[in-house]
């Protein structure tokens, strides 16, 4: 705002942010559940692409886009469940194991597609799925409304539902949670599944918007989603989290991405600011951790 005030009064700038924010919301909010449970998942960036590939491949094969969307979301949930089982059952480090799955899935996608994109303009243009999910409603992208519904649902799930309460207990003290009768393993696997479903929804929405699947898509959101989680006020030690804060974090990251270019800086500065924001957020959590607890 200070560096380029004339840019911030342009509707196109804010419209581009509204296009970007829903994708980040679908990725970030499920991560709040997982981080609050005491785990982390880096594989969501590849789950994002895998679900989008399943959707694109089925659409090109002549399957109705609505059914292809359902199949893509299911594939994301399956990947999330497998990642969760790998970490919870075999007691692997979630950071290292999910990093391995991240590259494993990405390599699989590149092999399946021969590193080629899939375009679906003819199959999607004019279809009711496109207009309902990513069309325009009085100038607003429809994905903004779907993201808002997703936020409301997740807020209730995290703050009022039994699943969210179990997430808090497991992340705060899993031994105590087990003694209370909570199935810790099941709760964590469900959290990983939710991350997979959120990543799948994000990937499918992005593919719908551009009519195109790219084998490398999703990788750019890895740092952005993690930064939004921590900037939004969810600490890395588990037991605590905030959905409203995550939405705020998404807004900060989205405007930072656009703002760097708006003030005339090179796009390569975005990576620098992403890393800086993550470090500052983690330092803030550490310095105020005892007070928050």
User: Under a CB-based contact definition with an 8 Å cutoff, are residues 164 and 49 in contact?
Assistant: no
Helix, strand or coil for residue 119?
Answer: strand
Helix axes 65-89, 94-113, angle to 10 degrees: 140
Q: Which residue has the higher pLDDT, 193 or 4?
A: 193
pLDDT digit string, tens, across residues 127-172 = 899 999 998 887 778 999 999 999 999 999 999 999 999 999 999 9
pLDDT at residue 16 greater than cutoff 60:
yes
pLDDT digit string, tens, across residues 233-281 = 888 888 889 999 999 989 888 877 776 666 666 556 667 777 777 777 7
Confidence of residue 12 (pLDDT cuts 50, 70, 90): low
pLDDT digit string, tens, across residues 25-81 = 999 999 999 999 999 999 999 999 999 999 999 999 999 999 999 999 999 999 999
pLDDT at residue 286 greater than cutoff 80:
no
Give the whole-angstrom CA distance, residue 259 versus residue 242: 25
Q: Give residue 272's pLDDT.
A: 77
Confidence of residue 3 (pLDDT cuts 50, 70, 90): low
Give the β-pairing of 212-213 and 118-119.
antiparallel
Q: Give residue 101's pLDDT.
A: 96
Q: Give residue 238's pLDDT.
A: 85
Q: Give residue 168's pLDDT.
A: 94
Among the listed residues 57, 94, 69, 51, the one whose alpha carbon sits nearest the alpha carbon of residue 189 = 94
pLDDT at residue 291 greater than cutoff 60:
no
Please give the C-alpha separations between residue 18 and each of 95, 105, 109, 270, in angstroms, as whole numbers: 31, 29, 29, 18
Can you list the positions of beta strands (E) in the chain? 118-119, 136-137, 140-141, 212-213
Confidence of residue 173 (pLDDT cuts 50, 70, 90): very high
Confidence of residue 1 (pLDDT cuts 50, 70, 90): very low
User: Under a CB-based contact definition with an 8 Å cutoff, are residues 68 and 208 in contact?
Assistant: no
pLDDT digit string, tens, across residues 81-118 = 999 999 999 989 999 999 999 999 999 999 999 999 99
């Amino acid at each position: 705002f200070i560096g380029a005030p004339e840019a911030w009064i342009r509707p196109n700038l804010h419209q581009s942010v509204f296009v970007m924010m829903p994708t980040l919301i679908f990725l970030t909010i499920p991560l709040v559940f997982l981080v609050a449970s005491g785990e982390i998942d880096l594989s969501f960036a590849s789950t994002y692409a895998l679900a989008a590939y399943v959707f694109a491949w089925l659409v090109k094969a002549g399957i109705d886009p609505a059914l292809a969307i359902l199949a893509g979301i299911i594939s994301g949930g399956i990947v999330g469940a497998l990642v969760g089982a790998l970490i919870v059952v075999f007691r692997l480090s979630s950071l290292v194991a999910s990093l391995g799955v991240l590259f494993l899935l990405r390599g699989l996608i590149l092999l399946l597609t021969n590193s080629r994109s899939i375009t679906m303009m003819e199959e999607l243009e004019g279809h009711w799925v496109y207009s309902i999910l990513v069309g325009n409603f009085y100038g607003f992208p429809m994905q903004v409304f779907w993201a808002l519904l997703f936020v409301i649902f997740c807020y209730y799930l995290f703050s009022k539902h039994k699943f969210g309460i179990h997430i808090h207990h497991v992340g705060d003290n899993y031994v105590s949670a087990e003694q209370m009768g909570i199935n810790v393993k099941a709760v964590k696997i469900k959290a990983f599944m939710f991350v997979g479903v959120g990543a799948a929804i994000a990937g499918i929405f992005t593919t719908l918007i551009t009519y195109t699947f790219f084998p490398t898509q999703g990788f750019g959101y890895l740092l952005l989603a993690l930064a939004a989680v921590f900037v939004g006020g969810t600490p890395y030690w588990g037991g605590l989290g905030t959905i409203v804060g995550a939405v705020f974090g998404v807004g900060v990251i989205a405007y930072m991405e656009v703002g760097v270019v708006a003030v005339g800086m090179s796009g390569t500065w975005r990576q620098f600011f992403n890393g800086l924001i993550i470090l500052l957020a983690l330092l803030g959590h550490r310095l105020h951790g005892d007070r928050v607890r």
